Structure 1
Amino acid sequence: MSRLGNLTGSVWGGSSHSKSERKLLLKIDWFILSYCCLMYFTNYLDRSNVSNAYVSGMKEELHMEGTQYNQINTLFTCGYIVGMIPNNLILQVVPPRIWLPAMQIVWAVLTFSTSAVGNVHQVFAIRFLQGMAESSTFVGTHYILGSWYKPRELGKRSAIFTSSGLVGTLFSGVLQAAVYRNLDGKAGRSGWRWLFIIDGIITLPIAFYGFSIFPDVPTTTKAFYLSKEERLLSSSRLDATDTTRSPLSWNLAKRVLTRWRWYACSLLFAVSGETESFGSNNLMGLWLKAIGGYTVEQVDYYPSGMTAFAIVSTLVCATWTDRSQARWPVLVYMSVATAIAAICILVWSSPTGLKFFAYYLAGASYSGQATTFAWANQICADDQQERAIVLASMNMWNNVVNAWWPLVFYPATDAPRFRKGMIAMLATCAATLAVTWLVWYLERREWTTRGADVEDEGSKDRVDDDENPSREKNSTDVDTKL
């Protein structure tokens, strides 16, 4: 049993924990991850439902033309960008247990509204507002995870959270196929409209669950399931991390802008996040619809294979990187796998089976997401407010690129070949490798500088002792008198 416990601990990150710390981890794993994963599940369920609705009748019913599908995604991205940093800064003022569920209720209402649209322009407006509300979820959760977990615990939790969004994508295809088969035409509504109604029904109770159990951050938590001792332990065990709350000030801007972290981490995800274009633009679904010969249900089902491989890659890579504490190899794996997939699709004479393999292999692109944000949490662990800004900026700049990237390289009118997109993907993979090296180098340089500073401080103390031999004696005398 002890061997089993050690194995479980080495995989889950708790082999060296005391009994009280293991009990604390069990509680926060359940209450934090359960809500965050369910919240992100509904977040991605909603995002994926738009692409599934498009290939399941929405295009024809709303008379969509040209790149209007891409414009829907772009407007969602614009709303996402606008809401990103404000949402993360609000978490410094409004308790996360209030703000995150409140935003979830907002996007649930907007999801219901999508089921009643009469034209594509109404979808444009709803998706922009929905992007603003949903931008609270991803970076907000990574901020919360970085506040509760140590570096050796963080990667796996980030991966579980990221995978919950992928499960939402996976479930969306299955759900849309089932809705189309069983509800299309019921009560005079098309199947794709029922999809948004069901999505909203799933979302609302999860928001109310968040109001009741989410614990905020260690320094402010009043969660009913944590004892006073556990609240103190949750802060003290992160002794390498700045978990204090301080008022927002202009000094924050100075700290962020005069360090390398904001620039390098933002650039890393702005570039590496574009490797996810296979999945985020549902290229496989658009390819299947364009070449014909597949039913609506098959077009909804078959891309799920990419999502399934994405989940496996994310969890395996996160487990490995937590044990090794080396984050960069995951980004190398992701870039190489995605480059191979792009080459297989770019060579259009390749057989259909190889294209299926390529699209499924492209699911590896999602494995870098959890690792990149765990890496940023680790880099900025000594400054809570900087960490909030850096995490939000990473996702914000990635979405700034996403606002125009699909329109240029992955327009729906380019289906089924996406030749421009595959060439862009190869360039993105090469750029990801270069920026990964840059972040690795800057992090190592900072470590070296910190080590030198510590040595200099120690040398200074030794010199002071030599110059004032009575110093230690006097200190001892004072202690004795006290």
Structure 2
Amino acid sequence: MATDKALVDGHTKAVDAPHIASEKNDSPDTLERVLKQDLVASLGIPDWEAKEKRVVKVLDMTLLPQLWILYMFNYLNRTNIAQARLDDDFEATLQLGNTDYSTAVALLTVGYMLAQLPSNMLITRVRPALYLPTCAILWSGVSAATAGVKSPGELFAVQFILGIIEAPLFPGAVYLMSCWYTRRELALRTALLYSGLVLAQAFSGLIAAGVFAGMSGAGGVPGWQWLFILEAALSAFFALTAYFILPNYPHSKNGSAMWSMTEDMRRIAVARIEADRVEQSRDSTVWQGLRLALSDPKTYIFIFMNIFMTSSYGFNNFFPTMVRGFGLGSSTIALLLTAPPYSSDRKKERGYHIMTNNCISIIGFIISVATLNTAARYTAAFLYTAGSFSANALVYTWAVSTLSETPEKRAAGGAIVNICGHLGNVMSPYFFPDSDAPRYTMAMILQIVFAGLTFTMAFGSKTYLKRQNKKLKHVADESGGYYNPFTT
């Protein structure tokens, strides 16, 4: 019966081994170390701890920076329409109406949502070292095609297609990282991935300013068209480098970066992820993984948390317009947004870190709606940007690492959570009508509400997972197995 409970409620590894760690007396770090030592040491690899550090170092030098570059250009190509809008010729040429820009942004998000689940189910069966760079090449071409649109209808079509082709990158990147990094390592790496988004905002403004100032009218081409062409060309170049750098999965012997992994390192990489999994691992197809994700209550907790979270940073697509009057230190924000995930990884805690960042965002929104003073709004933008992006990185990391019973479930569950989260991105562009500038009172109030709802869901998720951990501990005590709790 104890074994049956383990299969339903969670995972107890090495059930014949003594129960070494307990929730009351041992830290999550101790629990993780005990499981890792038991599983990895059984491989009989000498000096495995040093080799494990080498595995992480190799990943940090190949996988992470390449995904960071791809994500930065994914974001640049997805949001360069916001920079193009600063060129008055853009809206005049396309004859955009009052809500046409918001509709174009929303259609990109719809395409982005529709493609994510099929893509993340597919990525478990293909080579990500080929799949992700190929997607990057394709979205670069579609983004460049935006320079040729002449009407709102053409813009809508290109934006929708761009959303579909760009969809695989982010959930696929986080899924690939979750196949290599443990829960203790993943939040910081996901935050570093997110930092590419924040730095992209800084680079996009600089690129746009340079293009508009130096290339408007060159060859008879308006500045906004040059912007789409040049950013797409840069994106395609870095996509080509990914073919030579990205790895596949730990159990794979091929993939461009696998030359840096010895056979022992690959075996350790597989074993340490297996030891990090909370729930019972089993053989699974992509459809079984989808069914497991859809039947898990935790999936729906994270769905609503992510919807509220993305709704609370709807300012993202309007950021260049909102801060046109002053320069925001995006590089500083990028550094600061990694601090909460780093703390979250170190403490193996998610809920309180998310709630704290929600509070920081709310303070920023309140300041922004209360005053038009430039210095105060600078501070406000600093607060709500850093708070929102930090919390968002933790929400998605928490979801992916919790829904990890099988690789297929992790891929499907992560995609579902991310897809539903983008419902917030469909709604939020309409929070910012032009008539509300520059204060955007309605938008700020709505973002305060959604940040508060995210806070509530994070608290509820933490409470639910604590109860699940008590059940896991009871099963482990009965079976004499190891207790490996969910991260709360």
TM-score by length of structure 2 reads 0.83
Distance in 2, matches of 1:135 and 1:50, equals: 17
Q: 2: distance between equivalents of 1:334 and 1:280?
A: 20
Residue type of the alignment partner of 2:79: S
List aligned pairs for 1:389-400, cutoff 5 A. 389-400=412-423
CA distance in 2, matches of 1:221, 1:250: 26
DSSP 3-state at the match of 1:219: coil
* Aligned residue runs from structure 1 range 279-428, under 5 A: 279-282=316-319, 285-287=320-322, 299=324, 302=326, 304-305=328-329, 307-348=330-371, 350-364=372-386, 365-407=388-430, 409-428=431-450
1:139-154 equivalent positions in 2, closer than 5 A: 139-154=171-186
Matching of residues 120-131 of structure 1 within 5 Å: 120-131=152-163
- Give me the whole-angstrom Cα distance separating, in 2, the residues matched to 1:256 and 1:359: 36
Specify the code of the residue in structure 2 equivalent to 1:437: F
Question: Does the CA-based 8 Å contact 2:195-2:338 persist in structure 1?
Answer: yes
Contact 1:275 1:335 in 2 (8 A): no
Superimposed CA distance per residue, residues 249-270 of structure 1 (whole angstroms, 9 cap, x where no aligned partner): 6543442233222111111111
In structure 2, relative to structure 1, the CA distance for the partners of 1:202 and 1:382 (3 Å cut) is same
Distance 2:155 2:187 in 1: 36
Q: Deviation digits for residues 228-252 of structure 1, max 9, x if unmatched?
A: 2221121112232469894526543
2:311–2:427: 8 Å Cα contact kept in structure 1?
no
Give the secondary-structure state (helix, strand or coil) at the position aligned to 2:96: coil
My pick for the range that moved more, 356-365 or 139-148, is 356-365
- Post-superposition shift, 1:17? 7.7
* Aligned match of 1:472: none
Letter of the structure 2 residue corresponding to residue 275 of structure 1: S
CA, structure 1 residues 250+148, in 2 after alignment: closer, same or farther (shift >3 Å)?
closer
Q: Counterparts of 1:450 and 1:245 in 2: how far apart (Å)?
A: 18
User: Which of 226, 250, 255 pairs up with 1:218?
Assistant: 250
Give the direction of change, closer, same or farther, for the CA distance of 1:110–1:245 in structure 2 (3 Å limit). Answer: farther
Counterpart of 1:60 (choices 92, 95, 103) is 92
Aligned-partner Cα distance in 1 for 2:286–2:193: 31
Residue identity matched to 1:228: E
- Structure 2 CA distance for aligned equivalents of residues 221 and 403 of structure 1: 41
Q: What corresponds to 1:240 in structure 2?
A: 275
Contact kept? 1:155, 1:322, Cα under 8 Å: yes
Q: For each residue in 1:170-213, what CA deviation from the matched residue of structure 2 results, as whole angstroms up to 9, or x when unmatched?
A: 10011101111111111111111111111111111222222222
Pair 1:103 & 2:143 matched? no
Verify: 1:89 aligned to 2:127, yes or no: no
Shift of 1:120: 2.4
Q: Which whole-Å CA distance do the structure 2 matches of 1:107 and 1:253 have between them?
A: 27
SS across alignment from 2:410: helix
* Matched residue count: 430
| Cα deviation, residue 303, structure 1 | 5.3
SS of the equivalent of 1:280 reads helix
Residue identity in the other structure for 2:411: A
Does the 8 Å CA contact 1:270/1:399 hold for their aligned counterparts? Answer: yes
Query: What is aligned with 2:466?
Result: 444
Task: Tell me the C-alpha RMSD between the 2 structures.
Answer: 2.3
Q: Cα gap change, 1:220/1:244 in structure 2, threshold over 3 Å: closer, same or farther?
A: farther
- Answer with 1 or 2: which has the greater Rg: 1
Counterparts of 1:206 and 1:244, CA distance in 2? 36
Bigger relative CO (Cα 8 Å, ≥ 6 apart): 2
Summarize the Cα distance change of 1:49–1:247 in structure 2 as closer, same or farther, 3 Å threshold: same
Structure 2 letter corresponding to 1:425: Q
Displacement of 1:71: 0.7
The whole-number CA distance in structure 2 between the counterparts of 1:17 and 1:411 is: 58
Aligned partners of 1:168, 1:405: CA distance in 2, in Å?
A: 20
- The residue number in structure 2 matching 1:209 is 241
Q: Which amino acid aligns with 2:300?
A: Y
Give CA deviations for 1:384-405 in whole Å, capped at 9, x if unaligned: 2221122111210111232133
Distance of 1:212 and 1:333 partners within structure 2: 40
Whether 2:454 is the aligned partner of 1:432: answer yes
Point out 4+ residue stretches in structure 1 off by more than 6 angstroms: none
Task: Specify the alignment match of 1:265 in structure 2.
Answer: 302
> Which residue matches 1:27?
58
CA distance in 2, matches of 1:401, 1:167: 22
Conserved 8 A contact 2:180-2:249: yes
Moved more, 395-404 or 121-130: 395-404
Instruction: Please say if residues 180 and 250 of structure 2, whose CA atoms lie closer than 8 Å, have aligned partners that are also in contact.
Output: yes
The Cα offsets for residues 396-418 of structure 1, whole Å up to 9 and x where unpaired, read as 011123213322x2233432232
